[in-house]
């Protein structure tokens, strides 16, 4: 039986998926091969494992626990600026981690705003380094994500259920037990698993706020094994532990994130009849105000301190900014070159193994892939000389799962809507790609490009593993300034990095939407 004609060919997507799988699985196999059988886990390694799991668990519990109350308040309360605040919840996702850490230090650190206030009453300053500092940073970065996930669950509850609850005069406890609790049982486990998986592979937070025997994660231990001990066997063994942890957490997150949803609605706008008392409104306003202050104050601290020191930044910072832009640009191009063919192949029905290959980036951390590439490159070239190309490649791989989630739904829609007509008109595959497929996906391509570039701009992972003394991206240069206690220059660099990351995302995303609407 002849195969049905298709407007596109799946061969490039299959090839891209094969390259991606070979890169990730090959580096993981290299790490496993390099882990010597006789090398065992030390007391410090077990301590790193415990700290990794504990900090990820605490971060997930606090992020999701607080997000339940913030999302409930946003679902019930209507006020001016609500949409802007919800949009603000998306900023930490593209916010460079080093910028978030520096902002938190400006607010919660020993010389920060809160410590200054405590000093007025003769109280000791806040101590941010260690477990509580790592958890605080993770809550700052993941509270918005958890809030968006849980708020989406509230918005999926049919409006008719709230109308019926109002007609039956449900009290607050009955409303929670019969409507809200079933929704939370569906949404919260998936949100917990997602945040837990993200915090497991967090490197920059542990590097800047952790450290020491009692506050070392597995990824930080891998970095220390390379940079300070050059113990490849121990680094490989720790990488295997990290692979097992992140793969398990990613699979649990993907499984639990598949909620069954609510049926029986008529797609009416959500309207709430509960929470209208003065007490309930005051409580909701307090939760929203605290969450907004928690998110805005560190960004405001970076803006106020960075503006004063931006003009006097050292030449090294500007050079690192140029390097970051170049690396992020290459990473964005590589990400699209891999993601677009894969999205096209998935749209043609080849979605099984290709989608699995696209999700491999969730299971392997950047440092683990970097470890494998280091081992592979070392016999043939100086890994330090390959720092920037390797960083661009790994950053592209890390952005792929998000790029595919943006591109695949639209690619399916374009192929289903225009594929048969193109075939009936005798349009070739290249003509369909050039005249129909790519123009129809311009907005999604621009969004994925902006996201990939912003994520690469703020990455402090593989570059810290490979870079020599003369090589640095902007996040790494900021970290070096912090280590040299040049906090003023670090604040100026952080503001520059924030502007570049958000600016790249906004320009690319806005440009794609403008052309799509023209």
What pLDDT, in 10s, does the model give residues 2-61?
355 677 777 888 888 888 888 888 887 887 776 665 556 778 888 888 899 999 999 999
> Which CATH topology does 19-34+310-518 take?
MetI-like fold (1.10.3720)
**Beta carbons within 10 angstroms of residue 384's beta carbon:** 13
pLDDT at 262: 46
Question: Which carries the bigger pLDDT value, residue 145 or residue 228?
Answer: 145
SS3 content of the chain, % helix, strand, coil (to 5): 75, 0, 25
Q: What's the pLDDT score for residue 170?
A: 65
Q: How far separated are the first and last CA of the chain, in Å rounded?
A: 44
pLDDT over 90 percentage in the chain: 14
Token pair listed for 180: 């809200």
Helix, strand or coil, per DSSP, at residue 147: helix
Dump pLDDT digits (tens) for 57-78.
999 999 999 999 998 888 877 7
pLDDT of 127-140, one tens digit each?
888 888 899 999 99
State the DSSP code for 426. T
Exposed/middle/buried for 266, CB within 10 Å: 0-12, 13-18, 19+?
exposed
Q: Which residue has the higher pLDDT, 54 or 275?
A: 54
d(CA 302, CA 312): 16
CA pair distance 310, 491, nearest whole angstrom = 8
Q: Which residue has the tokens 């892939």?
A: 369
User: Which among 412, 399, 414 has a CA at the least distance from the CA of 343?
Assistant: 412
Q: Are 150 and 195 in contact (CB under 8 A)?
A: no
Give the containing element (helix H, strand E) for 303: helix 278-309
Domain with CATH 1.10.3720.10 in the chain: 19-34+310-518, 48-215
Q: Give the span between the Cα atoms of 302 and 495, in whole angstroms.
A: 6
Listed in sequence order, the residues at least 6 apart from 194 whose beta carbon sits closer than 8 Å to its beta carbon are 145, 146, 149, 253, 257
Q: What 8-state DSSP symbol labels residue 384?
A: G
Q: Which CATH superfamily is domain 48-215 in?
A: MetI-like (1.10.3720.10)
CA 102 to chain CA centroid, nearest Å = 18
Q: Quick one: which of 235, 250, 242 has its CA closest to 35?
A: 235
Contact between 388 and 471 under an 8 Å Cβ cutoff? The reply is yes
pLDDT at site 419:
78
d(CA 13, CA 245): 29
Query: What percentage of the chain has pLDDT greater than the value 70?
Result: 85
Q: How far apart are CA 67 and CA 60, in angstroms?
A: 10
- Residue range 161-209, pLDDT digits in tens: 666 666 666 666 666 666 777 778 878 888 888 888 888 888 888 888 8
Q: Give buried/exposed letters for 6-27 (b at 16+ CB in 10 A, else e).
A: bbbebebbbebbeebbebbeeb
Range list of β-strands (E), 383-485: none
């Amino acid at each position: 039986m002849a195969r049905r004609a298709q407007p596109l060919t799946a061969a490039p997507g299959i090839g891209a998926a094969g390259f991606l799988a070979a890169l990730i699985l090959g580096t993981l196999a290299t790490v496993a091969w390099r882990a010597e059988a006789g090398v065992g886990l030390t007391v410090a390694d077990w301590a790193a494992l415990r700290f990794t799991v504990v900090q990820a668990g605490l971060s997930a519990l606090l992020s999701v626990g607080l997000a339940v109350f913030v999302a409930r308040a946003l679902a019930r309360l209507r006020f001016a600026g609500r949409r802007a605040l919800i949009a603000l919840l998306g900023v930490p996702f593209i916010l460079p981690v080093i910028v978030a850490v520096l902002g938190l230090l400006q607010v919660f650190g020993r010389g920060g705003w809160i410590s200054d206030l405590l000093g007025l009453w003769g109280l000791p300053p806040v101590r941010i380094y260690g477990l509580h500092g790592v958890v605080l940073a993770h809550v700052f970065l993941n509270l918005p994500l958890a809030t968006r996930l849980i708020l989406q669950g509230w918005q999926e509850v049919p409006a008719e259920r709230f109308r019926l609850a109002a007609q039956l005069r449900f009290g607050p406890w009955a409303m929670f037990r019969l409507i809200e609790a079933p929704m939370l049982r569906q949404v919260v486990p998936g949100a917990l698993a997602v945040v837990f998986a993200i915090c497991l592979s967090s490197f920059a937070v542990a590097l800047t706020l952790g450290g020491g025997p009692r506050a070392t994660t597995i990824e930080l231990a891998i970095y220390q094994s390379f940079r300070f001990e050059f113990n490849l066997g121990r680094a490989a063994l720790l990488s295997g532990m990290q692979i097992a942890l992140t793969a398990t957490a990613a699979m649990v997150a993907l499984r639990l994130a598949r909620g069954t949803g609510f049926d029986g609605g008529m797609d009416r706008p959500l309207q709430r009849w509960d929470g209208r008392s003065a007490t309930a409104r005051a409580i909701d306003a307090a939760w929203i105000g605290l969450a907004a202050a928690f998110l805005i104050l560190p960004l405001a601290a970076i803006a106020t301190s960075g503006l004063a020191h931006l003009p006097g930044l050292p030449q090294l910072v500007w050079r690192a900014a140029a390097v970051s832009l170049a690396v992020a640009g290459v990473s964005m191009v590589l990400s699209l070159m891999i993601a677009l063919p894969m999205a096209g192949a998935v749209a043609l029905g080849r979605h099984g193994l290709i989608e699995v290959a696209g999700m491999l980036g969730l299971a392997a951390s950047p440092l683990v892939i970097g470890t494998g590439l280091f081992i592979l490159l070392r016999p043939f070239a100086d890994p330090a000389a390959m720092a920037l190309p390797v960083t661009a490649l790994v950053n592209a791989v890390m952005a792929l799962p998000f790029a595919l989630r943006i591109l695949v739904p639209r690619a399916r829609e374009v192929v289903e809507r225009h594929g048969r007509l193109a075939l009936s008109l005798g349009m070739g595959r290249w003509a369909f790609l050039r005249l129909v497929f790519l123009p129809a996906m311009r907005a999604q391509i621009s969004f994925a490009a902006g996201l990939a570039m912003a994520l690469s701009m703020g990455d402090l992972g593989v570059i810290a593993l490979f870079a020599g003394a003369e090589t640095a991206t902007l996040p790494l240069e900021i970290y070096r300034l912090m280590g040299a206690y040049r906090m003023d220059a670090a604040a100026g660099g952080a503001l520059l990095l924030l502007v570049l990351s958000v600016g790249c995302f906004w320009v690319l995303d806005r440009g794609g939407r403008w052309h799509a609407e023209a």
